[in-house]
Structure 1
């Protein structure tokens, strides 16, 4: 008689198998080979994560460096980070909306409208920059609240009211700017000094990246402790140590390389903080779990007691507020607000960045880091094509092709997850 195969408990666990390893189909990650096996298992099941984006970014950097070595110069990388951050902040709000399976086409024109409000308050009315920024963000939050109520109280599809907003806010931008058409923000203002000329000091930048790696390791060890107390198995202990070490080493080297030129732009540091905080909120709070639940199955979420309408409203408020903040940072980077602010396809770029970074158009899947990865890919493509003097028509076609490829990968991985029971 053949024996029924069983899964061994981890070496540190004696007695009965841990709760989540009593099912023999679950993989015990207590060795390097087991970790590799589970990684392959996840890929086959459609759990691709950020792997396609990272591979794509490596290919992009390799190709452009082979054509124009200046592409990977510290000067160009700093410029990529500075110009990518404002759109990345807008894309972060798009990620939140996509997690609900919704869309917001108005973020581009809204960002321009909010920056125009700020410019009028600061330049024309002589108010402090913080007052102007508060006014711009308040405009965004109010519009987000209005959108959320349209979605929950009246049932207007997000595609419809955001498309209407795209047109309306563009008109509002023209109205606020008036006959002047352009408002120049003084270079001495704190906004321009922060966004255009501000960089993180070298010593502080090293400290911050090491704190990021230490925070990651601390979170992993805390998670291991909680799983052990709950009677659940933990991953192979060297794994989080290796990940934290690689993260620290990579960030320290990148920081050193950027400091050869000007260092990390302040606006990119702000974007990074927003991404990290948003990621923690999505993964560690009840509200974040509700967002994923509503995006995965709205009716099931409602029946489980989740306040679905409140979730929709808060997400649209955050999305519009981040769009306004991104517009303010873009105005600071450029040093002015014009009738072109936010109206040159910015909303499409922000949506493309979120999707390329890994946020699913079908809702319920994605991370805050999708906005960061996606905007790095798009800004790298744009910078590389500019350096080799490619016509703008080719840049648009290339961006469209990359977006289509990202959606195709998302659709294929979604089918793989469904067929493997992970859907």
Structure 2
């Protein structure tokens, strides 16, 4: 006679190996947990169509430019992911990024302060903005939509005030900051080394996580699955390094962005704070009753969001080697939010990952780059981006409804 324990053991064994991993993915998809499947499929479709329309799109030179252009907005989108995970929003990231760039330019160029001190001041300013948002939200219950909408307008005005009569301020091309954003690329040998390190780190972290799950009596990936996954990552990264190396290689600014994504992924998936963020996003009251300091969690994500906005503003200023009244304006704000949502972060909170910012901004920048190569008007780009964003929200809503009905069943 088969007992419940026997059935659990059989189920754990059936999940072992590559077939079990694929089965697990299919079951999660059926339950409404699509993960990053839609954005990966969408990215493949977008790249295929754009490559057919213009063979230059997937050239090494264009992809290098695409990675560099993605970094600044991607960092800002990473902050948006944090606030969306707790079911909130920040509409002022564009203005905060522009203000931080203006503070950097004035302190560095006009006042003559060391560049590192100007960068530190701009980043601290971003953190203070996030802290002020959190106080208004936690103490007075003002909706984040209203707080950050006021911040969007207020900090745009403050940016114009900081720039004053200077208008546009050019950053010196011989400065380390501009060199980092425009001319600094990772040597080939170091790029391949980083690829090997990343693959090894993926295997080690996966192995440790699987061991913890097995000790708790839960299903876990086999060593074979982990090894194949790491090998696939190594091959993919090796190909990317080789292909981008056909022209200029991998830019340090993009590596910096990816490093931030990896750090945030670890914090969100492997720490108590990260679990608290997901818990608050899933159900605030349940998280509070579970002993989580909800106010502290809200404060941390608002501070992170504004800090990342400041860092993104600094990177954008360095990339353009200039700051002007339009810095942080235009479509920066909307692209950052769209990248987070397109990357799979739920507007309803509790679901998403740091990698969503990476994939989402690549989608956004791919559309922009591809349509530019086709010499199409910016109006087309806005309409296409809006359609992709709407499709991402529809997929999120449908999958959320599917998870709800699956849970009830």
Structures share fold, TM-score greater than 0.5: yes
Counterpart selection for 2:306 from 295, 320, 332: 320
Listed as ranges, the matches of 1:24-43 within 5 Å are: 28-43=14-29
**C-alpha RMSD of the superposition:** 1.7
Listed as ranges, the matches of 1:24-423 within 5 Å are: 28-421=14-407
In structure 2, how many angstroms separate the alpha carbons of the residues matched to 1:17 and 1:121?
68
Q: Assess, with a 3 A threshold, how the Cα gap between structure 1 residues 207 and 41 changes in structure 2: closer, same or farther.
A: same
In structure 2, how many angstroms separate the alpha carbons of the residues matched to 1:32 and 1:86?
37
In structure 2, how many angstroms separate the alpha carbons of the residues matched to 1:260 and 1:165?
44
Could you list the runs of 5+ residues in structure 2 that have no partner in the other structure?
none
Query: Which digits, 9 at most, give the CA deviation of each residue in 1:336-387, with x for residues without a partner?
Result: 0001100112111100000000000000000000000000000001000000
Shift of 1:184: 0.2
Query: Which digits, 9 at most, give the CA deviation of each residue in 1:1-50, with x for residues without a partner?
Result: xx66x68xxxxxxxx659xx26x887831344433333222111111111
Moved more, 33-42 or 66-75: 33-42
Shift of 1:234: 2.7
TM-score, scaled to structure 2: 0.97
Contact 1:93-1:322 within 8 A present in 2 as well: yes
Contact 1:45-1:422 within 8 A present in 2 as well: no
In structure 2, how many angstroms separate the alpha carbons of the residues matched to 1:120 and 1:174?
12
Shift of 1:230: 3.2
In structure 2, how many angstroms separate the alpha carbons of the residues matched to 1:249 and 1:90?
29
Shift of 1:235: 2.6
Could you list the runs of 5+ residues in structure 1 that have no partner in the other structure?
8-15
Contact 1:27-1:38 within 8 A present in 2 as well: no
In structure 2, how many angstroms separate the alpha carbons of the residues matched to 1:239 and 1:123?
53
Shift of 1:279: 0.4
Q: Assess, with a 3 A threshold, how the Cα gap between structure 1 residues 422 and 250 changes in structure 2: closer, same or farther.
A: farther
